[in-house]
Structures are given as structure tokens and as C-alpha cells.
């Protein structure tokens, strides 16, 4: 038999001024199953809580209803009190008679009646409550960082420096990401490699970091604190434990005409290669698609000459299973490329290039050793036109968002050009100048005022070639929309920042959400900008949306701090408000029919297939189960299940129906 205690709070005068609390206490005392009821000035005060604790002990109460403020305010307080008195804290419910009664209604019988109705409802609910135990989840204190751009590097170093292990997985043969390709960086114009390379080396040498390059995440299962990850280690064909990085192989490799990705196709590399001189690790891999041995079956030069005997043509992709507690996704971005701008002749005219190509031309380690020369004939251009917003903020092109970094790097490019060619002319076509960062506007102003870059507000409509010049046609909207025509030697398009091609696949593997442009979605755009809606998976850098380096690094550190916070204890306690699928004796096992229709509704992919087998291992039934580590307790699955096989602890069918009945039947 239930023995419920009802505690009516006056909240000073906040409740008692409009609700006849004594009457509510008196009537509540007569409800079936109520063994004790009382009203008191401040239930949440120390004496109030003592009163509750004593009453539970003295009257051997099995559950309590505290009628006072909103449960959003004090549910935790009273549950703790119940626990102190020796009953399960989930046998405590609150009736909200302040925010939803006394504060919104005048003093009247109807108000008192409503308070009583709510008390009765909660009394009936608490009778149906069951003892619940908070869910304890152990935590594996290792973080997985996916992507070795500046975002991944920063996050990995932060976590590793806090004393936890980190596994970093990078798709390419070297870490560094886009930042390693940049020449100099706004707003300070410091050399990108100079600030990045030490960090890359630190990652490689850090005792807490295990680095897997030329690797990808194949599969993620499990939940916060307990992810199981399969990593695919693509066959490098070079045994890095033997290789010394001497470089003999790539000097001798006969397959030399492969467009060099690191230099954006402006130069060549060999089939066995390390992408750039400062690569980490600076050891080669064989690009099997271009290797003579793999394509034609003969060659084997590298194997013959390798002094360390590190070349191995036979190795296959390997799979590695690791356990991690948190995942930081830092897979970065991509840029819109050729054929997206037929009207600008990109991909057609060699001297219409994109921003990243310009970075390589301006970089001391680039194909021109830092001299800005046209790709077509190697001449130094006299006049360059820069086009901002190439593709961005253009609904017609399907990219309505702002790429955020282009205004700044275009100003930087124009400046770098002017610094190298003082008598050259730089024009920038722009829509608006968005330079809202620390020292950013000053930077753009410097380009305009000190370096004499000509800014023209307007769109470029067409670019075509005439007599070896690129004719750029556009309008100047600040001059009444007058047409402008510039004869340029080179055009640089600040093409839109887009998500990686494989972003959707990556998101699906990790069960995280993404927007329609395939940028990964944060759990809350304002208040949880670095977490995803899957607990334990965080975002860092441009994979979440276009970002510059300072912003990328801040977000990376923020997500690292989330991981470090998670790792600060050995286990995690979660509210037991989770769904459960009923269980029955064999041969039924459960009333669940395994229709799996609920799987789809769960926003957290918490519902899993379960196979029921008899003693000899024969499959008897397929049903589902809920992974309590993933379930967040929304209950959407419960309302979806036709035959009520799945229920939500704390808001069960029995409890909710009792509430409805109690509210309406006085």
C-alpha cells in the first residue's frame, strides 16, 4: 500500500496569499493513499526539508508530493531530501502551485481548487512511480581527434597537455590541413608555416598522442565515454617503422608527372611522395593510382633503392579497433572548384585562379618560390583583379551563406601582391566588406589606404580573354551601377567555402546532424556551439561552418575543454529518465514485434536491434533494445510504438494516464 506524504508550501506569502493552503492540506490528507499532509511556510528552507525528512521516517512514507514552486526550480532539492530520509529520490514529485497557480490567478475558490487538482494529479502519479537508479557510465579517458588541420592539432595538444591520451586520425599523408598551404596570414601577415610547423612537430612527438596519418574512421558505435571506433589504415606501401625519411625514393621515382595537390596542381610530384617538405610525418606513401608498379606491374625502383628496405608492395588496408571516451570532429572544409563559374572562365583560362592557388604562388615554399607569376606563361602580372564572394551569398548558385574568410584573405592577397610588385595594380570587386574581427577592419583599411588597392563595390558579370588579357566586366554600384571593364593579367576568385565531399558520410558514421550544405550541426547554435547532439562528440574548426584561424583555434580549445571536463571523473552519472523495451519470459521475451519503426524516430540513435536466442543459439525473435547511454529520454519512441512495448521511465504510460485520470476525476 502506498503511503504518500503531501507537503504544501506557503512560499512565504507567494502561495498562501491566493491559495487556501490549509484547506489544500486538509483535503489532500483525505485522498486515498495519502498518509500524511501538512502545510508549512518555506518547504525548501532547512527546517522545511527537515520536516519532510522527519515525516518520511515517522510516518513510514513511501512517496512524497511537494506542492510548491516549479519542479524546474527545486525538484533536485526535494529529491535529495527524500533520499536523505531513506527513500528512492524518484518517489518525490512536485505539484507546481506557485508559477502555474498562485502567481497567475486571483485569490478564489477556483484557485484553491486548481491547486488541489494538481496535488491530486501528482499523488496519483507518485503512486505509479518506481524506484530508479541513476545510470553510471564508465569513461574511457582517451579522445579521438578526426582531422589534423589546425583545429585538430589544437584540440589534440590541449587534451594531451591535460594528461589524457589522444588518437589523431588524418586522411592525408601529413597533418597540417589548409593552414599548411597558406603563405602569410591575416591580420598580422605572419608566415603560416612558421607558426604551424612547430605545432605539427609537437603533435608527432607528444607522448600522449598517437598519430595515424593516411587513415580514416570507418565506423563509430557506442556512446559518450564508451565509443568503439574502427580506423581504416590505408596501405602506405612504406613501412614507417623502418623508413628514415631520407628521400632517396622520391628523387628516383620515374612517375614524375602527377599534379601536386599541395601546390593546387601548379607543379608535379612523384608517385611515392611526401606532400611537402615540412610534412609530419615526413615519410612517404605510395599513391597506388599513379604508381607504375601497381598500374603496369613493373618498376619496383623504390624498393630496389630504399636503403632501409621499407618498401612493401604487398600490404593491404588494415583495420584497427580503438576505445575512446570523446570524439572531436575537425575535418575542415573544401573550396568550390572549376566548372562552378563558367561565366568567369575558371578552369578554362589558366590565369583565372582561386584563392588557394594564390596562396601557393605567394608562398616561399610554393612552385614559384614566392614570386607571383601567372600560371600560363610565368610572367609577373601588372594588374590583378580579385573577385570576392565568388559563389558565396549567391542563392542562384545554391550557396546563400557567407564564406566569412574571403573578405579578409582577399585584402591579404591584394596586399601581398602590392608588397611584392609595388607598381602593380590590384582591384577588388566586393559585395560588402565583412571585417568584423579584432584588428580586421584596420587590416582592410590598410590595404585600401596604404597599399592603394582599388575596391569596387559590385559584381563581376563576365570574364573573357582578348589579346592575351583577361577582360573583367562588372558594375560599380557606388557609381550608379556604371559598367566597369578592366583588362587584367590575372584574376583571383575568392571561391566559396564548402563542406568536404565526404562530410555527409562522416556525419552518418558518427550519427551527428548536418545542415543542408553538409556542415556539421552544433547541439545549440548559441548555447552549445561546440557540442553535437550526440553526447560526447564535439566539433572544432571549419567542418562546422566557414571560419578563420583564430576562431578555429578557439573552438578547438573549447571542444578540448569539453573532453577534458568529461575526463575529469572516472564515471558519469546520468538521470535514469530513459526508455526501456519491456521484457517477458521466453518464448515471448518481449511484446516488441521488432517492426523497428521506432528506430527511425529516435534523434539519438539509441534504439538498437536485439536478437533473442534460445540455449542452443537458434534465433527466436528479433526485437529492439534501448542503449541507456545514448537515450536522452524524449519519449518520442514511446508515443510511436503501437503496442506499448517501449516505455519511458519517469514518464511512463501508467504514470501519464494516471495523471490524466486524476486531474479530471475529483
Binding site for ligand SF4 (CB under 6 A): 578-579, 581, 592-598, 601-602, 604, 606-607, 623-624, 626, 631-637, 640-643, 645-646, 648
DSSP category for residue 522: P
Smallest separation, CB 510 to another protein (Å): 15
CB of 187 or CB of 325, closer to ligand FAD: 187
Longest dimension (CA), the chain: 100
- Quick one: what does residue 581 bind among ligand SF4, ligand FAD, another protein, none, with the CB cut-off 5 to 8 Å set by partner type? ligand SF4
Smallest separation, CB 208 to ligand SF4 (Å): 34
Cis peptide, bond prior to residue 200, ω within 30 of zero: no
Nearest in space to 56 (alpha carbons), one of 33, 34, 35, 85: 85
CB of 567 or CB of 604, closer to another protein: 604
Alpha-carbon 59 to chain mean position: 51
Q: Cβ atoms within 10 A of the Cβ of 655, count? A: 20
Smallest separation, CB 238 to ligand FAD (Å): 19
**Distance (Å, rounded) from C-alpha 405 to C-alpha 115?**
57
Write the CA distances from 121 to 36, 112, 160, 169, integer angstroms: 16, 14, 52, 54
- Quick one: what does residue 600 bind among another protein, ligand FAD, ligand SF4, none, with the CB cut-off 5 to 8 Å set by partner type? another protein
Rule CB under 6 A: say whether 146 interacts with ligand FAD. yes
| Number of residues that make up the chain | 666
Rule CB under 6 A: say whether 538 interacts with ligand FAD. no
Q: Are 7 and 43 in contact (CB under 8 A)?
A: yes
Rule CB under 8 A: say whether 99 interacts with another protein. yes
CB of 106 or CB of 207, closer to another protein: 106
* CA-CA-CA-CA dihedral for 193, 194, 197, 199, to nearest 10: -120
> Of the ranges 295-303, 380-388, 395-403, 648-656, which one interacts with another protein (CB under 8 A)?
648-656
Rule CB under 8 A: say whether 322 interacts with another protein. no
Instruction: Please report, as residue ranges, which positions from 548 to 567 form the binding site for ligand FAD (by CB under 6 A).
Output: 548-550, 552
CB of 177 or CB of 424, closer to ligand FAD: 177
Please give the angle made by the CA atoms of 318, 324 and 330, to the nearest 5 degrees: 80
* Out of 21, 68, 77, 117, the residue judged to bind another protein by CB under 8 A: 117
Buried residues in 105-129 as b, exposed as e (16+ CB within 10 A): eeeeeebbbbbbbbbbbbbbbbbbb
Buried residues in 524-546 as b, exposed as e (16+ CB within 10 A): eeeeeebbbbbbbbbbbbbbbbb
Write the CA distances from 661 to 125, 347, 596, 655, integer angstroms: 10, 70, 31, 10
Please give the order of strands across the beta sheet that includes 165-169: 209-212, 165-169, 142-146, 326-329, 537-539
CB of 283 or CB of 412, closer to ligand FAD: 412
Rule CB under 6 A: say whether 359 interacts with ligand FAD. yes
| DSSP letter for each residue of 597-623 | HHHHH-TT--EEEEEEE-TT--EEEEE
Smallest separation, CB 75 to ligand SF4 (Å): 19
Rule CB under 8 A: say whether 665 interacts with another protein. yes
Smallest separation, CB 598 to another protein (Å): 7
CB of 69 or CB of 579, closer to ligand SF4: 579
Write the interaction track for another protein spanning residues 589-608; mark x where CB under 8 A is met and - where it is not.
--x-xxxxxx-xx-xx----
* Out of 220, 399, 638, 646, the residue judged to bind another protein by CB under 8 A: 638
Smallest separation, CB 420 to ligand FAD (Å): 16
Rule CB under 8 A: say whether 23 interacts with another protein. no
DSSP category for residue 89: G
* Out of 34, 56, 118, 486, the residue judged to bind another protein by CB under 8 A: 118
Nearest in space to 387 (alpha carbons), one of 464, 490, 479, 477: 490
CB of 252 or CB of 621, closer to another protein: 621
**Distance (Å, rounded) from C-alpha 313 to C-alpha 584?**
56
**Distance (Å, rounded) from C-alpha 482 to C-alpha 461?**
13
Write the interaction track for another protein spanning residues 55-94; mark x where CB under 8 A is met and - where it is not.
---------------xxx----------------------
CB of 108 or CB of 505, closer to ligand FAD: 505
CB of 252 or CB of 621, closer to ligand SF4: 621
* Out of 131, 436, 479, 660, the residue judged to bind another protein by CB under 8 A: 660
> Of the ranges 26-34, 72-80, 172-180, 252-260, which one interacts with ligand FAD (CB under 6 A)?
172-180
Q: Cβ atoms within 10 A of the Cβ of 218, count? A: 16
Rule CB under 8 A: say whether 398 interacts with another protein. no
Instruction: Please report, as residue ranges, which positions from 561 to 590 form the binding site for another protein (by CB under 8 A).
Output: 577, 588
Indicate if the alpha-carbon torsion angle 152, 154, 155, 156 is positive or negative: positive
Please give the angle made by the CA atoms of 392, 397 and 402, to the nearest 5 degrees: 20
Q: Are 330 and 147 in contact (CB under 8 A)?
A: yes
Smallest separation, CB 215 to ligand FAD (Å): 7
Helix (H, G, I), strand (E, B) or coil at 524: strand
DSSP category for residue 511: T
CB of 98 or CB of 374, closer to another protein: 98
Instruction: Please report, as residue ranges, which positions from 490 to 529 form the binding site for ligand FAD (by CB under 6 A).
Output: 500, 502, 506
Q: Kindly list the residues in this chain that would bind another protein in the complex (CB under 8 A).
A: 70-72, 96, 98-101, 103-106, 108, 110-111, 113-114, 117-118, 121, 513, 533, 577, 588, 591, 593-598, 600-601, 603-604, 619, 622, 632-636, 638-640, 642-644, 648, 651, 653-654, 656-661, 663-665
Question: Where do contacts with ligand FAD occur on this chain (CB under 6 A)?
Answer: 146-152, 169-172, 177-179, 182, 185-186, 216-217, 330-333, 335, 355-356, 359, 405, 409, 412, 500, 502, 506, 541-542, 547-550, 552
Amino acid at each position: 500500500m502506498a503511503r504518500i506524504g503531501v507537503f504544501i508550501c506557503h512560499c512565504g506569502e507567494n502561495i498562501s496569499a491566493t491559495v487556501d493552503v490549509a484547506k489544500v492540506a486538509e483535503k489532500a490528507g483525505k485522498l486515498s493513499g495519502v498518509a500524511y499532509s501538512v502545510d508549512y511556510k518555506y518547504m525548501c528552507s532547512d527546517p522545511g526539508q527537515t520536516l519532510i525528512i522527519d515525516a518520511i521516517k515517522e510516518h513510514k512514507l513511501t512517496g512524497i508530493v511537494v506542492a510548491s514552486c516549479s519542479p524546474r526550480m527545486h525538484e533536485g532539492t526535494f529529491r535529495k531530501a527524500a533520499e536523505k530520509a531513506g527513500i528512492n529520490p524518484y518517489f518525490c514529485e512536485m505539484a507546481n502551485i506557485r508559477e502555474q497557480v498562485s502567481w497567475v490567478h486571483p485569490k478564489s475558490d477556483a484557485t484553491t481548487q486548481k491547486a488541489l487538482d494538481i496535488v491530486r494529479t501528482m499523488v496519483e502519479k507518485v503512486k505509479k512511480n518506481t524506484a530508479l537508479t541513476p545510470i553510471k557510465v564508465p569513461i574511457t579517458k582517451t579522445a579521438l581527434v578526426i582531422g589534423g588541420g589546425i583545429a585538430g592539432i589544437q584540440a589534440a595538444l590541449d587534451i594531451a597537455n591535460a594528461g589524457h591520451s589522444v588518437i589523431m586520425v588524418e586522411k592525408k599523408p601529413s597533418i597540417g590541413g589548409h593552414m599548411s598551404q597558406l603563405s602569410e596570414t591575416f591580420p598580422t601577415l605572419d608566415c603560416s608555416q612558421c607558426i604551424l610547423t612547430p605545432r605539427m612537430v609537437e603533435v608527432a612527438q607528444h607522448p600522449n598522442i598517437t598519430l595515424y596519418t593516411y587513415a580514416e574512421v570507418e565506423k563509430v558505435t557506442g556512446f559518450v565515454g564508451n565509443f568503439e571506433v574502427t580506423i581504416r589504415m590505408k596501405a602506405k606501401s612504406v613501412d614507417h617503422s623502418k623508413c628514415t625519411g631520407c628521400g632517396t625514393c622520391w628523387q628516383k621515382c620515374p612517375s614524375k608527372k602527377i599534379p601536386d595537390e599541395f601546390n593546387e596542381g601548379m607543379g608535379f610530384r612523384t608517385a611515392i611522395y611526401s606532400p611537402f617538405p615540412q610534412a609530419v610525418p615526413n615519410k612517404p606513401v605510395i599513391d597506388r593510382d599513379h604508381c607504375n608498379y601497381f598500374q603496369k606491374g613493373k618498376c619496383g625502383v623504390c624498393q630496389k633503392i630504399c636503403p632501409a628496405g621499407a618498401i612493401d608492395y604487398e600490404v593491404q588496408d588494415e583495420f584497427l579497433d580503438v576505445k575512446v571516451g570523446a570524439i572531436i570532429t575537425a575535418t575542415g572544409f573544401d573550396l568550390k572548384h572549376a566548372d562552378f563559374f563558367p561565366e568567369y572562365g575558371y578552369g578554362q583560362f589558366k590565369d583565372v585562379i582561386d584563392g588557394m592557388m594564390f596562396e601557393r604562388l605567394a608562398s616561399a615554399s610554393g612552385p614559384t618560390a614566392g614570386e607571383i607569376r601567372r600560371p600560363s606563361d610565368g610572367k609577373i602580372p601588372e594588374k590583378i583583379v580579385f573577385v570576392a564572394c565568388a559563389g558565396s551569398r549567391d542563392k542562384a548558385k545554391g550557396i546563400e551563406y557567407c564564406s566569412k574568410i574571403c573578405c579578409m584573405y582577399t585584402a591579404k592577397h591584394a596586399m601581398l601582391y602590392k608588397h611584392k610588385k609595388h607598381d602593380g595594380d590590384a582591384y577588388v570587386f566586393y559585395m560588402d566588406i565583412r571585417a568584423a574581427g579584432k584588428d580586421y577592419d584596420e587590416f582592410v583599411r590598410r590595404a585600401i589606404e596604404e597599399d592603394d588597392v582599388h575596391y569596387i563595390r559590385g559584381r563581376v558579370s563576365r570574364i573573357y580573354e582578348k589579346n592575351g588579357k583577361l577582360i573583367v566586366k562588372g558594375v560599380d554600384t557606388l557609381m550608379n551601377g556604371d559598367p566597369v571593364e578592366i583588362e587584367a593579367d590575372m584574376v583571383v576568385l575568392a571561391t566559396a567555402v564548402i563542406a568536404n565531399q565526404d562530410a555527409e558520410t562522416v556525419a552518418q558514421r558518427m550519427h551527428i546532424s548536418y545542415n543542408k550544405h553538409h556542415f556539421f550541426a552544433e547541439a545549440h547554435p548559441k548555447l552549445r556551439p561546440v557540442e553535437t547532439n550526440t553526447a560526447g562528440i564535439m566539433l572544432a574548426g571549419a567542418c562546422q561552418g566557414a571560419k578563420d584561424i583564430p576562431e578555429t583555434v578557439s573552438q578547438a580549445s573549447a571542444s578540448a575543454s569539453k573532453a577534458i571536463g568529461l575526463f575529469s571523473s572516472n564515471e558519469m552519472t546520468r538521470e535514469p529518465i530513459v526508455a526501456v523495451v519491456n521484457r517477458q519470459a521466453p518464448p515471448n521475451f518481449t511484446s516488441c514485434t521488432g517492426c523497428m519503426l521506432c528506430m527511425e524516430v529516435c534523434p539519438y540513435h539509441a534504439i538498437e536491434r536485439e536478437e533473442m536466442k534460445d540455449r542452443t543459439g537458434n534465433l527466436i525473435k528479433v526485437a529492439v533494445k534501448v542503449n541507456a547511454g545514448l537515450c536522452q529520454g524524449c519519449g518520442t519512441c514511446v508515443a510511436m510504438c503501437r503496442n506499448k512495448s517501449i516505455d519511458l521511465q519517469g514518464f511512463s504510460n501508467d504514470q501519464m494516464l494516471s495523471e490524466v485520470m486524476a486531474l479530471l476525476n475529483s
